[in-house]
Copies of this chain bind each other. A is one copy, B any other.
Amino acid sequence: MRRIEKEESRQVTFSKRRNGIYKKASELSMLCGAHVAVVVFSSAGRAYAFGDPSVDYILHQYLPLPGKDAPVLDDNAVSEPEAVAAMWRAVEETKAQVAAERARMDAIAVKVAQAKAGRRFWWEADIEALGEAELPEFTRALERLKDNIRRRADTLLSALPPPPRRLR
C-alpha cells in the first residue's frame, strides 16, 4: 500500500481541476462564441489565468467595477454613469447579503449531513421522524437552493446594460 500524502493529492486535485476549468472555458468560447476569462489564485498565493481571446482583453471589457472610478466623460455627458455606478454598489451590497444567506444554508446542510451520518446531533430525538426516503430529498433540495443562491449575484450582473462595445 502506498501512503497518501494529503498535501500531494490536494495539489494534484488543484492543478487537475484548474486545467478542467480552463478546458470548460475554452469549450464555452468555441461552442457559443463567448469570451471567457478565468483568474485563479492558489491557496499558496500563486496566480494563474486563462482567457479566450485573452485575459486582459476580457477583463478590460468588464470595467467599470464597483470601487473603481467611473469612466471619464465629457462635461455634458453626466448622469448615466452615476446611475450605473450606484447600481454596481447596490449589486455589491446585495451580493454580500446573498453570501450571508448562502452561509446559513451551508450551515443547515452540514447539520443535515451530520444527522444523517451519526444521528446524534441537535435533532437527534427527531431524526427518525424524517424517514429514510425523505432525508435524501431534503438534502438535495438544500443543494439546489445553494446553487440557485450562488448564481443570483451573476443574474444581477447579467441584468446590467451590455457593455460599450467595439469589437465582437
Contact = CB atoms under 8 A, between A and B. Distances in A.
Interface of A: 10, 13-14, 17-28, 31-50, 54-56, 58-75, 77-81, 83-88, 90-95, 97-102, 104-105, 112, 115-116, 119-126, 129-130, 133-139, 141-165, 168
Given A45-B162, A94-B94, A135-B138, A150 B22 contact: yes
Nearest to A86: B88
A64 to B, nearest CB: 6
A33 B129 CA distance: 37
Contacts of A86: 88
A162 B73 CA distance: 12
Each complex incorporates copies of this chain amounting to 2
A104 B142 CA distance: 11
15 contacts: A14-B28, A19-B151, A21-B36, A21-B38, A47-B61, A56-B66, A56-B92, A59-B59, A84-B87, A94-B156, A97-B98, A121-B126, A133-B133, A135-B141, A149-B152
